[in-house]
C-alpha cells in the first residue's frame, strides 16, 4: 500500500512531491556544496556554482582517515547485524514457540531495553572494554552495538514469528520432519521479509551509532564514519567542501537503503511501533 512506484501523474501529486523534495534541501545543499569549487564556497549568492568538481572527494578519499573509517563502519555494521540477528532469531523463536515461565515480564524487559539510554551505560562499558583490552578494536563496537540492537531485534522477530501459524510446523512434524528441519524449511522462508526488516534497522543503527564509537575508539584502526566526521580535521579554516564530501560518503548506505529497500524499512519501523 505504502510503496506505489513511479512518478506523479497529477499536478497535486507533483506539488506534494516537490514539497518533500524541498524538505530534503539540507541534504541536497550539502551534495551541491561537495561539488563546488573551493573558491566559490564562501560566496552566496550565486546558489549554483560555475562548474562542478570532484576535488573535495579526491581530497577526502586521498586521506587514509575517511577511507579507513568507511571500511571500519562497514565491517562493524555487517558483523553486528549478523551477530544480533543470529542471537535474536533463536531468542525470538524460544519466546514465540516455547512455554517459558515469566514470559510476559521478559517481553516487558525487552521492550524496556529498546528505550535504554546509551549515556547510562557508556561509563561502565568503557571500563569493561579497557579491562578486557578491547579499546580501539572492532570487537568493542560490535559487542556494544549488538547488545544495544538486540532488544529491538528480538521484539521485531517475536512479532513476525507469531504471525506465522504454528500449524505449519506441526503438520511438518506429523510428516516426520524434526523441529530444526521444520524451522529451516518452513519458518525461515516465511520469516525472510521480517529478517530483512530487522537486519536493515540493525545495520542502520550500527552505521549511525556515535556515542560508543566516539568513546571506545582512539585511532584510525577502529574509528567509524560518524566519529571521523565529527573529528574532521581543519587546521586554519574549516574545510566546508571536504566536510560536505565526507558527509555525502557517510550518507551513501542509508540513502541506498531508503531508496532501494524502502518497503522493508517501513515495515520494520511500523511493526516496531505498532505492537502494544
Partner 1 sequence: MRSQRRASVQGLLLLAPALFALGALTLYPTLWVCWLSLQRRIPIFGVERFEGLGNFFFLATDPRFWKATQVTFVFTAASVALELVGGVLVALALRGQRSGARVALSFLLLAWALPSVVTAKLFEWLYNPAAGLVNFLLGGVALNWLGDPRLALPGLIMADVWRTLPFVTVLCYARLLAIPVELYEAAQMDGAGAVATFTRITLPLLRRILLIAVLFRTLDALRSFDLMFVLTGGGPAGTTETLTVYAYRSLFQIVQLGLGSAVGVVVFALVMLVAWGYLRALRHEGLAA
Give the alpha-carbon dihedral of 262, 265, 270, 273, to 10 degrees: -150
Residue 245 near residue 66, CB atoms below 8 Å: no
Supply the minimum distance, in Å, between the C-beta of residue 84 and partner 1.
9
Q: Which of 115, 131, 174, 235 binds partner 1 (CB under 8 A)?
A: 115
Peptide bond just before 200 cis, omega within 30 deg? no
Determine, following the binding rule CB under 8 A, whether residue 104 of this chain makes contact with partner 1: no
Contact flag: residue 131 with partner 1 (CB under 8 A): no
Q: How far apart are CA 56 and CA 113, in angstroms?
A: 41
Could you say which of 50, 51, 64, 98 contacts partner 1 (CB under 8 A)? 98
Minimum distance between the CB of residue 269 and partner 1, rounded to whole angstroms? 6
Residue of 49, 61, 78, 121 interacting with partner 1 (CB under 8 A): 121
Q: Does 42 bind partner 1 (CB under 8 A)?
A: yes
Nearer to partner 1, 172 or 212 (CB): 212
- Min dist CB 143 to partner 1, Å, is 6
Count, residues near partner 1 per rule CB under 8 A? 100
216 binds partner 1 (CB under 8 A): no
Number of Cβ within a 10 Å radius of residue 244: 22
* Segment interacting with partner 1 (CB under 8 A) among 60-68, 88-96, 170-178, 189-197: 88-96
Among 11, 26, 166, 193, binds partner 1 (CB under 8 A): 26
* Site for partner 1 contains 48 (CB under 8 A): no
Cell, residue 137: 578494536
Show the binding pattern over residues 249-268: x = contacts partner 1 (CB under 8 A), - = does not: -xx--xx-xxx--x--xx--
Could you identify the residue written with the cell 546558489?
47
Contact between 176 and partner 1 (CB under 8 A)? Answer: no
The secondary structure of 74-106 as a DSSP string is HHHHHHHHHHHHHHHHHHHHHHHHS--TTHHHH
Considering all CA atoms of the chain, what is the largest pairwise distance in Å, rounded to the nearest integer?
75
Applying CB under 8 A, which part among 9-17, 52-60, 61-69, 161-169 lies near partner 1?
9-17
Residue 16 near partner 1 by CB under 8 A = yes
Residues found in the chain = 276
Sign of the alpha-carbon torsion through 88, 109, 106, 122: positive
For partner 1, which stretch binds (CB under 8 A), given 40-48, 50-58, 159-167, 184-192? 40-48
- The Cα–Cα gap between 52 and 34 comes to 9
DSSP 252-269: HHHHHHHHHSHHHHHHHH
Query: End-to-end alpha-carbon separation of the chain, Å?
Result: 22
Q: Is 178 in the site for partner 1 (CB under 8 A)?
A: no
Amino acid at each position: 500500500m505504502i510503496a506505489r512506484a513511479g512518478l506523479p501523474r497529477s499536478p497535486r501529486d507533483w506539488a506534494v512531491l516537490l514539497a518533500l523534495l524541498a524538505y530534503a534541501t539540507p541534504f541536497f545543499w550539502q551534495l551541491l556544496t561537495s561539488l563546488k569549487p573551493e573558491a566559490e564556497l564562501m560566496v552566496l549568492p550565486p546558489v549554483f556554482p560555475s562548474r562542478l568538481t570532484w576535488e573535495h572527494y579526491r581530497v577526502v578519499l586521498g586521506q587514509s582517515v575517511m577511507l579507513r573509517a568507511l571500511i571500519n563502519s562497514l565491517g562493524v555494521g555487517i558483523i553486528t547485524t549478523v551477530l544480533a540477528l543470529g542471537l535474536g532469531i533463536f531468542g525470538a523463536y524460544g519466546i514465540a514457540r516455547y512455554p517459558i515461565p515469566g514470559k510476559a515480564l521478559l517481553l516487558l524487559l525487552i521492550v524496556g531495553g529498546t528505550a535504554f539510554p546509551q549515556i547510562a551505560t557508556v561509563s561502565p562499558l568503557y571500563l569493561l572494554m579497557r579491562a578486557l583490552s578491547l579499546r580501539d578494536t572492532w570487537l568493542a563496537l560490535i559487542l556494544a552495538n549488538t547488545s544495544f540492537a538486540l532488544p529491538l531485534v528480538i521484539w521485531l522477530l517475536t512479532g513476525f514469528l507469531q504471525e506465522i501459524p504454528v500449524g505449519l510446523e506441526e503438520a511438518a512434524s506429523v510428516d516426520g520432519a524434526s523441529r530444526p528441519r521444520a524451522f529451516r524449511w518452513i519458518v525461515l522462508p516465511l520469516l525472510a521479509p521480517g529478517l530483512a526488516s530487522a537486519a536493515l534497522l540493525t545495520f542502520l543503527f550500527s552505521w549511525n551509532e556515535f556515542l560508543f564509537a566516539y568513546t571506545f575508539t582512539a585511532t584510525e584502526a577502529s574509528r567509524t564514519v560518524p566519529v571521523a566526521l565529527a573529528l574532521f580535521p581543519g587546521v586554519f579554516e574549516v574545510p566546508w567542501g571536504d566536510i560536505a564530501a565526507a558527509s555525502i560518503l557517510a550518507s551513501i548506505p542509508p540513502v541506498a537503503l531508503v531508496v532501494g529497500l524502502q518497503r522493508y524499512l517501513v515495515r520494520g519501523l511500523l511493526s516496531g511501533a505498532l505492537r502494544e
